[in-house]
Structure 1
Amino acid sequence: MKVRSHGMTLVEMVIAIAVAGIAVAALAAAFSSIVTRTADPMIQTQAQVAAESLMEEILLKPFSDPSSGTTCPSAPANRQDFDNVCDYNGYSSVGIVDQTGTSVSGLENYSVSVSTTLSAFSSIPSADALLVTVTVTSPLGADVVLSAYRTNY
């Protein structure tokens, strides 16, 4: 009479557990690696949006000072008082702030700097063109740099 066994022996069980453990450890390591990098695109996107927002704010300002009509007079001390493109030259901030100086929640670890320089653009002379450069540095240390020309039209 032949006895049929059902189930697994102790050796087979130990081998199965060891193989499953190795597989779970490999999956956990891969998952951990993926999870740690998922925030990078969000941080980069936040820096990009902050740079675009500030660039739009700057480019919407008049080329020349509205009160004196001069190009690049001395800038006011507060960003709320900036009334022409050149006023932003040398502007910098640790933490992203809006036009009223209010800190934007969650963006305290970003920094921003702006430069504006008279620069010829194609057939437009340098007296009538400003190169605006906005740099936003993310908490990861990566820079987002946007440059645009603002002309006196």
Structure 2
Amino acid sequence: MYISHKGMTLIELVMAIALAGILVAALMSSYSSIVGRSADPMIRVQSIAIAESYLEEVLQKPFLDSATNSRCPGASGGRSTFNNVCDYDGYSSTSITLPNGSAVSSLNGYSVSISVADIAAGELGAIPTHCALKVTVTVTNPIQDAMSLTGYRTDYESDPACS
């Protein structure tokens, strides 16, 4: 007569527990890696939104200075007094502010810098270099990723050769 024993030996049980422990450890390490980066997309989207806001502000300004009717006479005063695109060249701030200078406290850790330069010959096809400015806004977020957006402002309103 044959007696069937159902169950596991001690060695099989120890091996099953060890294998389960290895699987749990692997899953937890990958899970912690995913959780650690879960806010990164939100921070990047916030950086893009800040850069878009500043770029829109700059590109809405006139191409020529209203007081001197020249391209880039040099900025005077702060951001609230900027009256043409070139005034923003070299602007940088370690905090995000509204155009009137009020700080946006919920955006601590972000910084912004703006550069304005003449376009290179042929950069925009047949548009002459004196007819357009290249505006680059760079936002650095709290995890030290820099996000740059570039836009162009043309002199369509005052120079017929640029239209």
TM-score (norm 2): 0.79
Question: d(CA) in 2 for partners of 1:11 and 1:3?
Answer: 21
Aligned length: 153
* 1:139 corresponding residue in structure 2: 142
Question: d(CA) in 1 for partners of 2:144 and 2:13?
Answer: 50
TM-score (norm 1): 0.83
1:104 has 2:107 as partner: no
SS in 2 for 1:73: coil
* 1:52 corresponding residue in structure 2: 52
Question: d(CA) in 2 for partners of 1:102 and 1:10?
Answer: 70
1:152 has 2:155 as partner: yes
* 1:71 corresponding residue in structure 2: 71
* 1:24 corresponding residue in structure 2: 24
Moved more, 56-65 or 95-104: 95-104
Query: Where does the alignment leave 5 or more consecutive residues of structure 1 unmatched?
Result: none
Given candidates 122, 126, 145, the residue that maps to 1:123 is 126
- Measure how far apart 1:3 and its partner are: 7.6
- Measure how far apart 1:82 and its partner are: 1.1
Residue by residue, what CA displacement relative to the aligned partner does 1:42-75 show, whole Å, maximum 9, x if unpaired?
A: 2222211111111111101111122332211221
* 2:160 corresponding residue in structure 1: none
- Measure how far apart 1:80 and its partner are: 1.0
- Measure how far apart 1:12 and its partner are: 5.0
Query: Where does the alignment leave 5 or more consecutive residues of structure 2 unmatched?
Result: 157-163
SS in 2 for 1:34: helix
1:37 has 2:37 as partner: yes
The percent of aligned pairs where both chains have the same amino acid is 52
